[in-house]
Amino acid sequence: MGNRVAVVTDSLSSLNRELVNQYNITIIPATLAFDGTTYRDWIDITPTEAYELFLTDPEKFSTSAAIPMDYIEAFRALGNEGKDILCITLSSKISGMYDIARTAKEQVVDEFPSVSIEIFDSLTSTAAEGFIALAAAREAMNHKNLKEIVDRVTYIREKVNFLVLLNTIRHVYRSGRIPKIAAQIGSLTQIKPILTMSSGLIRFAGAARTKKRGIDKLLALLRSKVGTDPVHIAIMHAYALEEANSLMERVSSEFNCAEIWLTEFSPVMGYVCGTGTVGLAFYKEK
């Protein structure tokens, strides 16, 4: 007996390919552009390849949300299989993905009268969103129905969070959330901010003068939130694999990990945060 529910999420959930394939999650790609050429995140270009383009000339690099047709095509393909669909999106407070997915649903819902399509606002991003999608896919593999899965991911949504240490504040003005001059001043003083998520919005959680101190502060913040409880953790990086591996070793040895995996940030986040960024997405066991 196959899954009764198909899980869809966007590439900003930063799930690695092993997990996507293992749990049969459909990924809707964000759009990247460099010097006039357009790429679909993880389809036409890997995060590593995108970061290498970004580093050649950051000003020629840009990003945009997924297009409605990608959602429509995914919903139609899954609808033709007769499965209910749970689509988990990036926080509606920082992106238009949620509205795009809802518009796509309206385009196809009448074609599949026996199929239910639920659009679920994760109210987060990065692999914290990925953990919500994973929770949904794991429930689907246990043959839970759509309502049961929505109940589960609603619970997980209240638990997940992330902590991200930027290597530079230089590019953050691109998000529209801080003025360019502030980013320039911050980059001159070499401030390395730590960002987190609260109520669907990205918040400032602290800062450090050096990467080493930033990592120590990152782990201290994590410890204050999870203590010694079993915790699910994703280690994330933007073109900083060696640092991410070192961080993973520390986390594995210093925390009670029920689950830990490594992934790359979507280049959409890298465009705003810059390369060298590392972070953690996490939630505690019940």
Helices marked H in the chain — which ranges?
A: 17-22, 47-56, 68-80, 97-108, 126-141, 146-159, 180-188, 211-226, 241-254, 267-273
pLDDT single digits (tens) 200-247:
988 888 889 899 999 999 999 999 999 999 999 999 999 999 999 999
Q: Cα separations (Å) of 236 from 13, 76, 127?
A: 11, 32, 8
Question: What CATH code would you report for 161-284?
Answer: 3.30.1180.10
Q: How far apart are CA 7 and CA 184, in angstroms?
A: 41
Confidence at residue 265, expressed as pLDDT on a 0 to 100 scale: 93
Confidence at residue 82, expressed as pLDDT on a 0 to 100 scale: 94
Confidence at residue 27, expressed as pLDDT on a 0 to 100 scale: 97
> Which residue's entry shows tokens 């280690």?
235
Confidence at residue 120, expressed as pLDDT on a 0 to 100 scale: 98
Confidence at residue 207, expressed as pLDDT on a 0 to 100 scale: 86
Confidence at residue 133, expressed as pLDDT on a 0 to 100 scale: 98
Q: Delimit the domains of the chain by residue range.
A: 5-30+65-159, 161-284
| Pairing of the two strands 5-10 and 84-89 | parallel
Q: Does domain 5-30+65-159 have CATH number 3.40.50.10440?
A: yes
Q: How far apart are CA 221 and CA 238, in angstroms?
A: 21
Q: Which residues of the chain register pLDDT less than 70?
A: 1, 168-189
3-state secondary structure of 61: strand
> Which residue's entry shows tokens 């020629």?
60
Confidence at residue 169, expressed as pLDDT on a 0 to 100 scale: 61
Confidence at residue 1, expressed as pLDDT on a 0 to 100 scale: 54
In Å, how far from its chain's centre is CA 238? 12
Q: What is the DSSP string of 144-194?
A: --HHHHHHHHHHHHHH-EEEEE-S-STTGGGGTSS-HHHHHHHHHTT-EEE
Sheet of strand 201-208: strand arrangement: 201-208, 192-198, 161-165, 278-284, 231-237, 257-264
| Pairing of the two strands 37-40 and 192-198 | unpaired
